[in-house]
Every structure is written in structure tokens, then in C-alpha cells.
């Protein structure tokens, strides 16, 4: 029987009995991989599954429509909760599931009257419902969204299908951090209370990558998920290999750039997709990496190799910049304080401290860093978040304290405006904090934090406007008055 042959066999036979059947089914090995992972979920061998594949690769159809329909053949009592970013999409997926189970093809094989009258059928009243419908054996599907919640339902399998809307990310800006936080809160807090049996309820999270703060990254970071991650073009360094009880898989591709599904997405089509999506979304949605490995606005090589200095030059102008946070309680936000030097049209990062601080701690750290670097002529605090209050507290304690107003330019526009300076004329210390700066810079603007990028951008915009004559004059005055000892 088809249920004994597995989910892939079921999909092949059921294809013509769904609205997509008219398009013709083009099979590929990644569909088998998803099927085998889902079968391990059905057997209880995988409790947390993450699937990242590019758009158009049948992830929603396979997971949200075919999988629950196939499960109800042998396990009609199973209860499903399926959620997406929007209720309309959740209802659309639910309708495909409901209509497939109600189809003559399905009912002739596994409906009422089959096997001594025990079968999976959706009753007359339930057959008109979408948001929540049940079969006659006690199983049901409840469909909701991030905004809709999940009150009152306890289920055996929870399917999270694109909890963040891909269209919220354009070619420059990252997805709203507010939307990302809502999605993560929903997945990792709200839905945790919807398990019928906390020890056995399975979570299936499927999505295309959008940001380093999306639910998929949380699944990866938590370390308790089986992660099936398949980019459109093979990345040898990120080759997917899985070896867990019930599911063993290795991406069969061997060549760098080898396509995932060439019969459906041949090279010209992929090229057009990359051009249409542009650099950042293409890396995220096609390659399942929220930003290109080498970086987008800032590239990794710009911070390494011959960009590492051994000794600071004499002379020049040194400043400190401060990117502050909003509150003492938002543990996702950091403060970044940086000291920069410009000398002979070259820019040097001298020092950096960072932490999740409230305003009192921020002020203390600014004072400490200023004392550690007596050559600092001015301290510039961005006129945002706690910046205003910071300046008010420190105005009588630090000379040269200034509010810096970025104007109407966005973070991305400001960063792009200094990217050429970073590439050609910036130099960095061989310091432990550089690892965090490089990670944040290369992930920008899809990283969880951007405080270091903001502080760096601020410094370069300020220093780039400083003339050589002004630098020399200021340095001579500091020597004259003994500021440099």
C-alpha cells in the first residue's frame, strides 16, 4: 500500500488530485529528502525539524498539505496546528489539506467503508470549515498565524511555515526587528504551550532564510533541531550532512555551485532570480544564508590580512563615538563605544568596548574609555535612544562632548557611503573584539545587532570631513598643552 511505501510515493499519486496537478510533477531528490525527514517525525524519531529550501521548491505543499494527509491514513487521530505569517496563507494551506482528504481518490482508498468501516473522513459540517476542521476519528487541523495566536488547542504536531513574510525584506533593508521578534516569540514561547504531550509533540519549522534573527537561526543556534538546509547553488563549505536515528542524509551534490533542482530551476532561471532578488535577498532566500559569506556592504577581507596594523602612527586626530541603546531591559540591544584615529587620510580603529548596559553603566564606560585614551579630542554620541540623556549626564564631565545627528539617511545608506573608506583606507588592531566586529559587519544589514557598524560609520563620517590642516593644528595644540604627556 502507498502508506507503506512512504510519503514520496503518496505525493506522486496524490499530485493529480490537488489544484497543482495540472502543472505536472517534476520530481527531484530534495523532495525525497524532505519526505524521509518527515517520516522520521511521524515515527517519533525526530522531535524538532528545520527545513530551509528556496522558494518554489514545494516545501509548503509537501509539509503543510501532503504530510498531514498522509499521516491521517494510518494515524487519523493525530492533531495538527499549522501556522504562517498570515491567516489567509494558513487558510489556503488548510484548504488544500481538507480538499485532498475529501477527494474521491483519497476516500476510495482510506475513507468511510474502507477496512470494515474504519477510515478517515471529514464530516458534512466539518467539510465547510477551513480554520479548524476535524475528521471522524478525532484528529483535527487548526490553522493560525503569528498575530492570531493559538489559544485552546493542544496538538501532536506543530507546523510553522514561513512565520516571517519574505516581502518584508527588500534589496537593502533587513526585515523589521519587530516582526522577527514577534515570530520568534510565537514559535518559541506561545506554541510551546500548545503541545498535547510536551515529551512527544513534534515541531516542524520550514522557511526560506531572511535574517540572522529569524526563527530558523534560533532553531540552528539552539542545537536541538535536525536541520535540512539546501541552498539553490551548492556551497561545498556548508554541505548538509545529517546522521540521526531514523534519518541519514548527505547532499548528493559535489561541485561548487551545482544546482538544487535544474529541471525546474535551470541556470538561466536562477540567474534571473538572483538579478530580481538582488544581492542580499538572493543570499538569504536562494542560498539559505542571510547575507553572502564574504559580506554585503562590508566584506570580510577588508578587516583582515594587510588591513591589520602593528603600531599606530603619530599625529592625527582621535575621537570616540557612542552608539547607545534604548533601555536597561532590552537584552537584544548593545552599546558600542569606539575610539578612532585619522592620520594622513588613513583611518585606524584604536579601541572598542561593548555591552548590554543601561544609561548609568554607559556613562561610566564612556568616562573610563576617555581616560584610557587621553588623545581623544571629542566624544560623539548619536542623537538617538539614550544618547540625549547620556550627553546631559556627562556634559559637565567631558570636554568636547557632542550629539551627532545622522540626518535623514538610513543606517544602510550611511554604511554604504563609508564602505569604500573601509575597503581602501581603514586599518584595524589585532584584538579579540575584532571577531565580533567582523561578524556584525559582514552580516549587516541582516544581523541581529548593528551597534558596532553604527559606531564605526559615525566615526568615519565625522573623521572623513576633517582636513589635514585641522588635524595637524589640533595635534600641535595637544602637544603644546601637555595633553599627550
Task: Write down the pLDDT at residue 4.
Answer: 56
Task: Write down the pLDDT at residue 297.
Answer: 86
Model pLDDT for residues 57-85, shown as the tens digit of each residue: 999 999 999 999 999 999 999 999 999 99
Task: Write down the pLDDT at residue 477.
Answer: 55
Residues, the chain = 485
CA nearest neighbour of 34 among 57, 5, 1, 2: 57
- CA distances to 61, 165, 231, 324 from 214, in Å: 22, 11, 17, 23
Model pLDDT for residues 189-236, shown as the tens digit of each residue: 999 999 999 999 999 999 988 888 899 999 999 999 999 999 999 999
Task: Write down the pLDDT at residue 71.
Answer: 96
Residue 175 has pLDDT above 50, yes or no: yes
Task: Write down the pLDDT at residue 456.
Answer: 96
Task: Write down the pLDDT at residue 481.
Answer: 53
- CA distances to 263, 270, 342, 377 from 475, in Å: 66, 55, 11, 9
- CA distances to 149, 213, 350 from 421, in Å: 47, 28, 16
Return d(Cα 36, Cα 71) in angstroms, integer.
13
CA 52 and chain centroid, separation: 11
Residue 326 has pLDDT above 80, yes or no: no
Radius of gyration over every alpha carbon of the chain, rounded to an integer in angstroms: 28
Task: Write down the pLDDT at residue 293.
Answer: 61
Model pLDDT for residues 258-278, shown as the tens digit of each residue: 999 999 999 999 999 888 877
The angle subtended at Cα 331 by Cα 330 and Cα 333, nearest 5°, is 75
The three-state secondary structure class of 288 is coil
Q: Once rounded to an integer, what is the mean pLDDT over residues 432-442?
A: 94
Structural class in CATH, domain 300-480? alpha beta
Residue 441 has pLDDT above 50, yes or no: yes
Confirm if 289 and 214 have CB atoms less than 8 A apart. no
Q: Once rounded to an integer, what is the mean pLDDT over residues 291-313?
A: 86
Task: Write down the pLDDT at residue 119.
Answer: 64
The three-state secondary structure class of 200 is coil
Residue 423 has pLDDT above 70, yes or no: yes
Confidence tier at 468 by pLDDT (50, 70, 90): very low
Flag the least confident range among 126-140, 208-222, 288-302, 461-475: 461-475
The cell numbers describing 172, all together, are 537593502
- List phi, psi (to 5°) of 18: -125, 165
Task: Write down the pLDDT at residue 123.
Answer: 78
Task: Write down the pLDDT at residue 54.
Answer: 93
Q: Once rounded to an integer, what is the mean pLDDT over residues 126-149?
A: 90
Q: Which residue has the higher pLDDT, 244 or 467?
A: 244
Work out the end-to-end distance of the chain between its first and last CA atoms, rounded to an integer number of angstroms: 87
Look up the pTM and report it: 0.74
Return d(Cα 39, Cα 67) in angstroms, integer.
9
CATH of domain 2-286: 3.40.50
Q: Tell me 377's DSSP state.
A: E
Residue 467 has pLDDT above 80, yes or no: no
Domain extents in the chain: 2-286, 300-480
Q: Once rounded to an integer, what is the mean pLDDT over residues 4-22?
A: 88
Task: Write down the pLDDT at residue 413.
Answer: 87
Q: What sign for the dihedral angle of Cα 28, 34, 36, 39?
A: negative
DSSP codes joined into one string, 79-126: EEEEEESSHHHHHHHHHHHHHHHHSHHHHHHHSTTSTTT------TTG
Task: Compute the mean pLDDT over every residue in the chain, rounded to the nearest whole number.
Answer: 87
CA dihedral 124, 130, 131, 134 (to 10 degrees): 40
Q: Once rounded to an integer, what is the mean pLDDT over residues 435-463?
A: 92
Residue 139 has pLDDT above 80, yes or no: yes
Task: Write down the pLDDT at residue 170.
Answer: 44
Ranges assigned E (strand) in 388-434: 401-404, 426-427
Is the previous residue joined to 415 through a cis bond, with omega within 30 degrees of 0?
no
CA 160 and chain centroid, separation: 15
**How large a percentage of the chain has pLDDT more than 90?**
65
Amino acid at each position: 500500500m502507498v502508506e507503506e511505501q512512504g510519503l514520496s510515493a503518496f505525493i506522486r499519486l496524490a499530485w493529480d488530485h490537488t489544484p497543482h496537478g495540472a502543472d505536472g510533477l517534476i520530481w527531484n531528490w530534495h523532495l525525497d529528502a524532505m519526505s524521509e525527514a518527515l517520516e522520521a517525525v511521524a515515527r517519533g524519531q525526530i522531535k524538532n525539524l528545520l527545513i530551509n529550501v528556496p522558494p518554489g521548491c514545494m516545501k509548503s505543499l509537501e509539509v503543510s498539505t501532503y504530510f498531514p494527509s498522509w499521516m491521517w491514513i494510518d494515524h487519523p487521530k493525530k492533531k495538527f496546528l499549522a501556522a504562517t505569517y498570515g491567516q489567509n496563507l494558513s487558510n489556503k494551506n488548510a484548504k488544500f489539506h481538507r480538499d485532498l482528504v475529501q477527494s474521491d481518490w483519497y476516500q476510495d482508498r482510506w475513507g468511510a467503508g474502507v477496512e470494515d468501516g474504519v477510515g478517515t473522513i471529514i464530516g458534512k459540517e466539518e467539510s465547510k470549515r477551513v480554520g479548524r476542521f476535524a475528521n471522524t476519528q478525532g484528529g483535527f487541523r487548526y490553522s493560525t498565524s503569528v498575530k492570531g495566536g493559538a489559544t485552546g488547542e493542544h496538538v501532536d504536531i506543530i507546523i510553522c511555515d514561513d512565520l516571517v513574510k519574505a516581502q518584508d525584506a527588500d534589496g537593502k533593508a533587513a526585515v523589521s526587528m519587530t516582526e522577527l521578534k514577534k515570530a520568534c516569540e510565537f514559535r518559541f514561547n506561545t506554541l510551546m504551550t500548545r503541545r498535547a504531550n510536551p515529551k512527544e509533540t513534534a515541531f516542524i519549522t520550514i522557511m526560506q532564510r531572511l535574517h540572522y534573527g529569524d526563527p530558523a537561526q534560533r532553531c540552528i543556534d539552539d542545537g536541538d533541531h535536525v536541520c535540512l538546509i539546501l541552498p539553490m547553488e551548492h556551497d561545498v563549505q556548508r554541505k548538509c550532512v545529517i546522521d540521526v536515528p531514523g534519518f541519514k542524509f548527505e547532499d548528493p551534490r559535489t561541485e561548487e555551485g551545482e544546482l538544487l533542482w535544474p529541471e525546474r530551476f535551470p541556470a538561466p532561471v536562477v540567474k534571473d532570480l538572483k538579478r530580481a532578488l538582488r544581492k542580499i535577498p538572493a543570499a538569504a532566500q536562494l542560498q539559505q544564508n542571510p547575507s553572502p559569506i564574504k559580506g554585503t556592504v562590508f566584506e570580510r577581507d577588508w578587516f583582515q590580512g594587510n588591513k591589520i596594523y602593528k603600531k599606530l602612527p603619530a599625529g592625527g586626530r582621535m575621537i570616540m563615538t557612542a552608539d547607545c541603546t534604548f533601555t536597561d531591559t532590552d537584552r537584544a540591544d548593545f552599546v558600542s563605544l569606539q575610539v578612532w584615529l585619522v592620520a594622513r587620510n588613513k583611518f585606524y580603529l584604536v579601541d572598542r568596548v561593548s555591552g548590554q548596559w543601561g544609561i548609568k553603566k554607559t556613562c561610566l564606560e564612556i568616562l573610563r574609555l576617555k581616560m584610557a585614551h587621553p588623545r581623544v579630542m571629542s566624544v560623539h554620541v548619536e542623537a538617538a535612544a539614550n544618547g540625549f540623556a547620556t550627553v546631559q549626564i556627562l556634559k559637565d564631565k567631558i570636554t568636547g562632548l557632542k550629539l551627532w545627528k545622522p540626518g535623514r539617511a538610513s543606517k544602510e545608506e550611511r554604511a554604504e557611503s563609508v564602505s569604500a573608506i573601509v575597503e581602501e583606507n581603514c586599518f584595524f588592531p589585532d584584538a579579540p573584539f575584532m571577531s565580533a566586529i567582523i561578524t556584525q559587519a559582514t552580516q549587516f544589514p541582516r544581523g541581529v545587532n548593528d551597534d558596532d557598524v553604527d559606531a564605526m560609520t559615525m566615526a568615519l563620517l565625522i573623521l572623513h570631513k576633517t582636513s589635514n590642516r585641522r588635524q595637524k593644528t589640533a595635534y600641535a595644540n595637544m602637544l603644546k598643552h601637555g595633553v599627550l604627556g
